[in-house]
Structures are given as structure tokens and as C-alpha cells.
A and B are shown apart, each in its own frame.
Chain A
Amino acid sequence: MGDGAGLREAEVICAREAMSDHREPELYHAGEPESDVDEESDGLAGSGEVTDENCLLKKLEINVSEAEKRTGKNAVNMQETYTAYLIETRSLDGQPDTQNSPMDSLWRRYSEFELLRNYLSVSYPFVVVPPLPEKRAEFVWHKLSADNMDPDFVERRRIGLENFLLRVASHPVLSHDNIFTLFLTQDNGWKEAVNEANLQVKADSRLKSLNATFRVKNPDKRFTELKHYSDELQSVISHLLRVRARVADRLYGVYKVHGNYGRVFSEWSAIEKEMGDGLQSAGHHMDVYAASIDDILEEEEHYADQLKEYLFYAEALRAVCRKHELMQYDLEMSAQDLASKKQQCEELATGTVRTFSLKGMTSKLFGQETPEQRESKIKLLEEQIEEGQEQLKVQNAESREFVKNSWLEIERFKDQKNRDLKEALISYAVMQISMCKKGIQVWTNAKECFSKM
């Protein structure tokens, strides 16, 4: 673990040196899940090596290297424009000459990523499935375009999609999924494979429709808390992003208005004698100052993207809670059903009706059932009860398994989150520092000009 920490440290330094390098965050993400796996196995340092070796990322180098605008016909034969992303993979199968092995590449569009993610979240309900980058630009400030085809947006999405693939590929569970491998490597027939494997898609829609209505009687406290946490996390990050966009907007204004000094100083300098030169060159520094904000805020968008990922992660976390709730609900329904059957059976056997029922009324009014009828009813009920007990046992086992797996997963996720966000905060602080330094530099230059006036 010491090594891992050292490595991260090195990456932080790297990050500071190459702040403008867009690819840096993914490199970081690619590296980090190594230790996630540690947590997954038993939470102790150094013991996760085996799982680590098995994760897909060790065997395959993955890049989303290009985005391309395309036009085609959609399902209803309408002309549509979309962006396709080039996924490049290279096998790293332990050979020493890995560098030379050929690149495989294929194009996927955003909707296919969505399908993949949907498939993963249905197939692995206990996993906090990494989120996709936003479909439409959100939390934008005036200078940013909300257009889906905007090159900056497409570029940020490319980075986000690559990050998604790397996260899945390094996930201890998801990385072993065959459909995922096919997504990366199999140009044709992938969708069919998904459709075949994914018979449970309906379950997901059921989940959505039930979500609002059903109430679990005995909720698991841990999941209730987790759900509460994801709600709050989502609300706080979205608030943060909203205000950050406004902050960026204002900051942009402050810098750009300074640019006006550039022009007026230069015009003023034309009518001054001794002061002219100083004013003229100070005006130039004001232009530099105004222009510097573009890069600063462009960089800051990456920080916003990092936060956005966790905004969407909150939703993924909540999905796990919902699935648990659904499972718990089914479990409770089965138990309830079983209990009522047991009661019916008992009533028939003893002939007593504990509670007033319509059935009791009708039997009184229209005479008793024959003993044969009663016998067969009891028999049927007993069979059903046995079945129900069996089913309940299975459901209970499933539920326990789900809780166990999801809890491991959630612990893993929390570690990943803490690490990622700390890195994000560091890079944010580093950005602020570089902004301050730029500011000091420009104003020092300007001061020199002024003092020569």
C-alpha cells in the first residue's frame, strides 16, 4: 500500500506540473482502482493482488481517442446527427512485447454507452455502477455552450466516456463481464448479445414504477442511511455546481472588464507626454490579464466534471439502495403471503375463524363445505406453504448475499470517492494557486509600467 500511496503522490505532483494536460485525470483514474480492489477483498493492505491481476485493465489498454460527428438514419428513418467515439484497445497479455501488439479499434455512440451501462446496472444490482458523463451540458455559465455538438462539450464527453470505460474495466466485478469485453472489442453483434443476456430489463422498469409507491416495513437501517446520504450528496453537489457556474460567470466578468483598461490606457497614452509610454504598456498588461481568464476557467471545467461524476455517482448509489428496497419488499411480500396461507390452513384445520371474514359469512349462510373439499383445500395450501417457505429461504439467501456484496461494493466506493474527491480538491487548490500567481505576475508587470510614469 505504501507503494500505491507513493505513486499517487507522484501523480499529484505530476498533476500540478501539467495542469493543462487534459488527459491527466483519466490516467489518474486508471491507476487508482488498484487499491479499490484491496478494500474489496478484505480491506487490508497488500492482499488484493490476485483480484488486481485479474481485472481487465491489466490485460487491456483502453482509450477513447477520437470523436466524430456523423449523420445517419434512425429507427423511424429520420435523418439525425450524432457523435461517435473511437474506442481503441490493445491487449497487454503479459508478453514483453506488449507495446508492439496491434491496436483494435471500433466506433460507439453515446446511446450504446447508455445501453451498456443500463445492462450493467441491471445485471449487477449490488454494484455502484460508474456513471456516464452528462448527456447534455448542465450547470453551464454563459460562456459555455449548451449545444451537444459543441467541440468543447464533445471533448469533455470524450474524456468522460474514457473515464467511464476505465472505471468499469478496473472494477473488481464489472471488469469480468463478457458483454463489456464485447462492447470494447466486438464491432458487430454486440447489441444482440446484450438483448439476449438482458432479459431482466423489465425488472428495471418495474423498479422505476414501484419506486414511488411501495413501502418497506422493515427497512435495513444501513441502506436507509445510505439513501439519505446519496440524496444529500446529490443536493449538495448540485448546489455547489450551480453556484460554481455563477462564480465562474462573475469572475469572467471581473477579468474581462479589466480588458477595457487596455484600450482606454492606450488611447489616453496618445495625448500624454511623459506618462504615455507607461500607460501604453500597462494597457498591454491589462489585455493579458483579461485574456488569462479563458484558460483558468477552461481548466476549472475539469474540476466541475469531476464533481459532476460524483453527482451522478450519488444517483448510482441510490439505485443500489432502491434495488435493495425492492428486494426487501419482495421478501416481505412473500413472507406476508406465507403467513396468510398458514393462517388459512390453520383455520380450515381447526374450523375456527379468528377474524371476521366474508368467507366465514358465506359459509355460514350457504352451509358448510364437505370434509373432502376441506381436505383438498388444506392439502393445496400445505403444498403452497412448502413452496413459499422454499422460496422465502431462497429470497432470504439472495438478500443476504445482496447485502453482503453491496456492502463490500459500497465500502469500495467510499474509499474511491474519498480518494478521488481529495485529488479533485487538491487540483482545485492548485488551480487557484496558479491563478493567483498569474494575477500577481500581471499586476507586478503593470505596476512596473505605472511606476515609470
Chain B
Amino acid sequence: MSGSSTPKSLPSSGQRALHDIKHPLSCSPGAEEEAAAGNGADVFDTPSPDLPNTEPCSIGEKDLSLPNGTPADTSSPASSSSLLNRLQLDDDMDGETRDLFVTVDDPKKHVCTMETYITYRVSTKTTRTEFDLPEYSVRRRYQDFDWLRNKLEETQPTHLIPPLPEKFVVKGVVDRFSEEFVETRRKALDKFLKRIADHPVLSFNEHFNIFLTAKDLNSHKKQGITLLSKMGESVRYVTSGYKLRSRPVEFAAVAEYLDTFALKLGTIDRIAQRIIKEQVEYLVELREYGPIYSTWSGLEGELSEPLEGVSACIGNCSTALEEQTEDMTEDFLPVLREYILYSESMKNVLKKRDQVQAEYEAKLEAAALKREERTLVPTDVEKCQDKVECFNADLKADMERWQNNKRQDFRQLLVGMADKNIQYYEKCLTSWESIIPLLQEKTEPK
């Protein structure tokens, strides 16, 4: 991306390196650094103050100011740094530098007079200094997650926010309180928070912090409302009809890629569902098929045992199939769904980016009309340009992250699918092999 292919900083030692880079947005890097170096409270006191000010530096500033924890963190934020940072990110992802662990578990059903809902326990363990305590445990419901995601979208418009599971399941009437539904959702919510916690920028977001720690989230929820309306203005600055003069190739390619990607995942999702349906029907037949051998066995003398053996075998295979189908439903489909939603999120960010660029281009044009001399570009245009570049940088880094995650996730998912099938066949194989001696031995003694 931006020409700032400066020496990449190492996780541990190079924390200053990032600040030496002339970030497109950083008008006065020093000042921010000081502010950032202060403490986490900084972030808390000014809930996403940057955007509404339309201060071009704000986005970047935030990024820079965030890593005020351990030195390692300072170097890791990818948002504003070059593509080269990607490699480092990978290291961070896999490595020991993770210092924020979030899990979602223990769903509980709440029945009030007004409504019935599920809460989940959100447990946090961290060494980060922004947190007062090393451990937190709060209960949150879906709405709260939704609030968090909205907040993240508002305050980090340049970043790709992981998707939440669908609010309502599309397929017919699903019991929202059924064990399977709650468990599937719990897994998705867990994944959602883990993705944020692993993100070098999003994990430092103040709202995320609040979400993880606040005893009473509702009071925080009320505060945010005014912000939202301001946000809207800036995003809607340019009408959607505007055609960008020069959308960077990589973004155009990503948009195209996402369309196909979502399409293919949709197909895979349908295939997987169809397979599950076929397997369920196959299972129904098997469940009828096996016992017939038992019935037959009741009629026979010498054949009784072999027939009973076959019946048991079919029973074992049915059980193995049922497990395999369950695994597919629980583990395979949700990942596909998450990535389908992810591509939606990505498209939204791309749209926002286009809008920011459109805003810049419009201003540039207006300025060009006003003064031909061109020697001085007005500062607000410059700011806009910075904003675009900053957005590009953040988004590119997130896209890289996303690509890497995607590759890992799908490798794991598909290898898992193959494994499950192998296990299924192995169970059946063992069962059938075990009855061969039973079938053969009786032929001899006569």
C-alpha cells in the first residue's frame, strides 16, 4: 500500500518504529503518542470522539494511541502500517503475545413477565493494563452483542467487524430456546468475541472493554445514542449515485471476489444441508432396516445369530451416521454461515470506503474549480485525502487478516469434514469386520 514500506518493527523491540513512520493521518504524531501513552482511561473518557470531529487524523490517531499496553502491542496494530506488517500479525495471532482471552459459555434462560431471553456468560482473562482486574465474568444477551457490534462499526468505520449470527434463523419456525439453537448461537457469539479479542485494533476498543467488564451495560448503552446520529451524517455525505474516479484495483478485485465467494459458500451451504437431509432420511430407513433382521432372526434356528449380528451391525452404523450428521450440523454449517455474513460485513466496509473516497474526490474537484493555480490544496481536501489513505490502510490490513483467517478456518473445516467421514467409515468398517467370524464359524460345525 502506501509507500511507507519502512522497516517493519519487531514485536518486542521495535515499538517506536511505528511512530516513526509518517502515517498519512498523523498530523502531529508526537501529541497523540503522549496522549496515548497516558492510560486506558483516555480512551474511556472520550468515547470515540474522533469521527464526529471529522478530524482526518482521528482514525489514525486512535490506532496509534491504542497500543499503550505492552511494548509488543505497540508494534502489532496493523491498521495504519504497511502490508508488510501482515507477517507480524500472523505471528501475533499464533504466538504467545495474546493477552486477552474471552469465552462465551453457560447459556441461561430468563423468563420475565415481559419477555423470555437467553443470557450467556462472558468470561475474560487478560494481562492488559486497560483492565482493572485480570479476570471478569459478566452475563450478556444477544442484544448486548448487537450493541457492541454497532458500537464497533460506529467507532471503527475503517475496520472489518466480524459478523454476529443472524438474529432470526431464516429456516421456518425454529425454537429459539431449543438446546441446539442456543448452543449454535453460543458458539457463534464466542467466535465473534474471540475474533475481536484477537484483532490488534478492535480489541482495544473502549466499547469492547465496557462490554467485557461493565456490571451494568444498560447505562452505557444509553450514552451512545447521540453519537450514532452524528455518525450517520458523515457516512451519508455523498449520494450513492456517485461514481468513483479511481477505485484502487485491489478494492475493486475484493468486491468482485466477495460476490463469487459468497455465492460459492451459499452453494456449499445448500449442498451441505441437502447432504444432511439425505443422511437423515437414510438414517430413518436404516433404523427400520436393521430391526427387520432381528425379526427374521426370531424365525430361524441356525441363522438366528448371523441375522442378529447383521442387525446389530446396521444399528452400529446408524449410530455412527447419526453422530456424523450431528457434527456436520453443529460444526460445519455455522462456519459457512459466519463466512457468508463476513462477506456481507466486508462489503459494507468497502462501501464506506468508497464513500470516503467519493467525498475526497468531490472536494478535490470543487477545489480545482475554485482555484486553477493549484499551488495550494486546501487543508480540508488534504485532510480528506489523508482520511481515504488511512481507510485504505486499515482496510487492507484487515483484508489480509481476513484472508489468512479464512484460509486457516476453511482448512480446518474441510479437514474436519474429511475426518468425520473417515471416522464414520472406520466405525462401520470395524462393526462389519467384527461379524465376519460370527457368520463364518457356524458353517463349520455340522
Contact = CB atoms under 8 A, between A and B. Distances in A.
Instruction: Answer whether A and B are interacting partners.
Output: yes
Contacts of A274: 407
Nearest to B253: A271
B166 to A, nearest CB: 22
A350 B446 CA distance: 63
A450 B418 contact: yes
Nearest to B258: A271
Contacts of A254: 275, 278-279, 282
B295 interface: yes
A426 B264 CA distance: 43
Interface string B293-308: 1011001101100110
Contact of B271 (A257, A436, A453): A257
Contacts, number: 152
Interface stretch (B30-38, B376-384, B429-437): B429-437
Contacts of A451: 411, 415
B425 A422 contact: no
Interface string B424-444: 111011001101100110111
Interface stretch (A51-59, A114-122, A439-447): A439-447
Interface residues of B, number: 56
B421 A282 contact: no
A69 interface: no
A243 B289 CA distance: 6
A264 B267 contact: yes
A229 interface: yes
Contacts of B295: 236, 239
A261 B432 contact: no
A322 B15 CA distance: 98
A439 B414 contact: no
Given A239-B292, A243-B289, A433-B429, A253 B278 contact: yes
Given A254-B279, A258-B275, A275-B410, A268 B264 contact: yes
A267 B266 CA distance: 13
B428 A436 contact: yes
Contacts of B422: 439-440, 443-444, 447
A453 B407 CA distance: 7
B260 interface: yes
Nearest to B430: A436
Interface in A234-267: 236-237, 239-240, 243-244, 246-247, 249-251, 253-254, 257-258, 260-261, 264, 267
Contacts of B57: none
B443 to A, nearest CB: 6
B333 to A, nearest CB: 14
A293 B423 CA distance: 19
Given A261-B268, A422-B443, A450-B411, A253 B281 contact: yes
B444 A5 contact: yes
24 contacts: A1-B446, A12-B440, A236-B299, A240-B293, A240-B296, A250-B281, A250-B285, A253-B278, A254-B279, A260-B271, A268-B261, A271-B264, A421-B306, A433-B433, A436-B429, A439-B424, A439-B425, A443-B418, A443-B421, A443-B425, A446-B414, A447-B415, A451-B415, A453-B410
Given A232-B299, A250-B285, A426-B439, 16 more contacts: A45-B446, A247-B286, A257-B278, A260-B271, A260-B274, A275-B407, A275-B411, A282-B414, A422-B439, A425-B439, A426-B440, A433-B433, A436-B428, A443-B421, A447-B418, A453-B410
